[in-house]
Amino acid sequence: MDQGYTAPCPLHKSCGGCQLQHLPYPEQLRRKMAREIALLGRFGHVEPILGMADPTHYRNKVCAAFGLDGKRRIVSGIYQPGSHRIVPVDTCLIEDEIADRIIVDIRHMLRDFKIQVFDERSGRGFLRHVLVRRGFQSGEVMVVLVAASPVFPTQKPFVKKLLEKHPEITTVVLNINDRFTPVVLGEREKLLHGPGTIEDTLCAHRFRISPRSFYQVNPVQTEVLYGTAVSFAALTGAETVLDAYCGIGTIGITASGGAKQVIGVELNRAAVKDAIANAKLNGLKNCWFTAGDAGEYMLGCAREGIRPDVVFLDPPRAGSSEAFLRALLKSAPARAVYVSCDPGTLARDLDVLTAGGYQVRKIQPVDMFPFTEHVETVVLLTRPC
């Protein structure tokens, strides 16, 4: 650690969200780069990590837990790692500043409207979490009130007051989560104001974002990440592209301008619904999205003698399943572009793919989450002709 450096946030030790805040940003990048080389260097040259000019306040999605402290005062913030103790947070170095202000104002409004926060020990109370999403380009703001019950007696005056304080809010949703679970959002929703979604622009395309949509939280670096992935694919306009783990279609839609057709496959049906809407929103005629297992879809194509020319895969932190990797090897697209959020599981999956005949051509780390240990990586794999 730089002896002359002081971590800019006084909560970084108790919060646990920013594991690298004790390091100056250039040193954070060096540390992440060293890990990338240690895990992936055996596959080829690792390009210098792409960092941010301004690594602060980049998170356009903020989720705060609500509860009571030891003196029965309402607090909001982040769960301390490995516990259910809420570390009170009013402002955060990496969170959107407007979102933080909205959450603080909601906390102050609760007593005026006699709204109780949920108590995990007794199972009583109403408000559990508040989730705020803000469109980086559009400025549209979604507020999701996560409650233990759909009964909200002061709903209308509360929402009216919130909109008076924050006219930038474009939609408010009540999400009902009555289960004892670490998962924040429940399955039921009630619209309180606006359309229930927000829109944003990413890589020159518009995207509709719903409360449960997966949408990258750092829009500045997402453009870098997806731009890198699409450039690695070297599309000519003649390719059939498969976007595996497609979510709401962000990568596939970004790549659509250079492809003959894009097929997106995703298990989450709600995400597929958003992807279809996003293709329509952008007037795209060459994108098609379906709900299902991407590996099974590729195996079905292989049985029919059909194979995609390029596959984008952006799996969760656990990496790709063994079944998906086997399907990829059987389908044998000419190029695969792997977007990973964990270099450890990426290295494991690259072992399988290179043993199956693929060669790693390019490795590009991208710092999507400054001040944390996490790093994204884009890898290009090709099959010898």
pLDDT of amino acid 316: 87
DSSP-assigned letter for residue 41: G
Query: Using 50, 70 and 90 to split pLDDT, how confident is the model at 337?
Result: very high
Average pLDDT of the chain, as a whole number: 93
DSSP-assigned letter for residue 83: S
pLDDT of amino acid 1: 47
Token pair belonging to 164: 């008076």
CATH superfamily of 25-54+218-382: Vaccinia Virus protein VP39 (3.40.50.150)
DSSP-assigned letter for residue 261: E
Average pLDDT over residues 103-107: 98
Least confident of 27-41, 91-105, 314-328: 314-328
pTM for the complete prediction? 0.92
pLDDT of amino acid 38: 98
In DSSP notation, 97-139 reads HHHHHHHHHHHHHHHHTTPPBPBTTTTB-SEEEEEEEE-TTT-
Average pLDDT over residues 117-134: 92
Average pLDDT over residues 126-141: 96
Average pLDDT over residues 120-138: 92
Q: Is the pLDDT of residue 210 over 50?
A: yes
Token pair belonging to 52: 């941010």
Average pLDDT over residues 162-179: 97
Q: For residue 378, how far is the Cα from the chain centroid?
A: 16
Rounded Cα distance between 259 and 237, Å, is 4
Residues annotated as catalytic are: 341
pLDDT tens-digit series, residues 38-48: 999 999 999 99
Least confident of 24-28, 80-84, 375-379: 80-84
Q: Is 313 helix (H, G, I), strand (E, B) or coil?
A: strand
Q: What are 287-291's contacts with CB under 8 Å, separation 24+?
A: 287/249, 287/252, 287/253, 287/256, 287/261, 287/262, 288/261, 288/262, 288/263, 288/264, 289/246, 289/249, 289/252, 289/263, 289/264, 289/265, 290/263, 290/264, 290/265, 290/266, 291/265, 291/266, 291/267
Rounded Cα distance between 337 and 364, Å, is 11
pLDDT of amino acid 3: 61
pLDDT tens-digit series, residues 288-301: 999 998 888 888 88
In DSSP notation, 145-183 reads EEES-S--TTHHHHHHHHHHH-TTEEEEEEEE--SSSS-
pLDDT of amino acid 234: 97
Q: Is the pLDDT of residue 334 over 90?
A: yes
Bridge-partner residues for 232, per DSSP? none
pLDDT of amino acid 4: 66
Contact by Cβ (8 Å): 237, 210: no
User: Domain limits of the chain?
Assistant: 25-54+218-382, 61-196
Percent of the chain with pLDDT over 90: 77
pLDDT of amino acid 127: 97
Query: Using 50, 70 and 90 to split pLDDT, how confident is the model at 2?
Result: low
Segment holding 67, helix H or strand E: strand 61-68
pLDDT of amino acid 15: 84
Bridge-partner residues for 87, per DSSP? 78
pLDDT tens-digit series, residues 235-244: 999 999 999 9
Rounded Cα distance between 107 and 271, Å, is 31
Q: Tell which wins on pLDDT, 303 or 47.
A: 47
pLDDT tens-digit series, residues 217-234: 999 999 999 999 999 999
Residue with tokens 């102050």: 108
Q: Tell which wins on pLDDT, 14 or 170.
A: 170
pLDDT of amino acid 111: 92
Rounded Cα distance between 328 and 320, Å, is 10
Average pLDDT over residues 270-284: 94
Average pLDDT over residues 31-39: 98
Looking at the domain that runs over 61-196, which CATH code has it been given? 2.40.50.1070
Contact by Cβ (8 Å): 63, 100: no
Q: Is the pLDDT of residue 5 over 90?
A: no
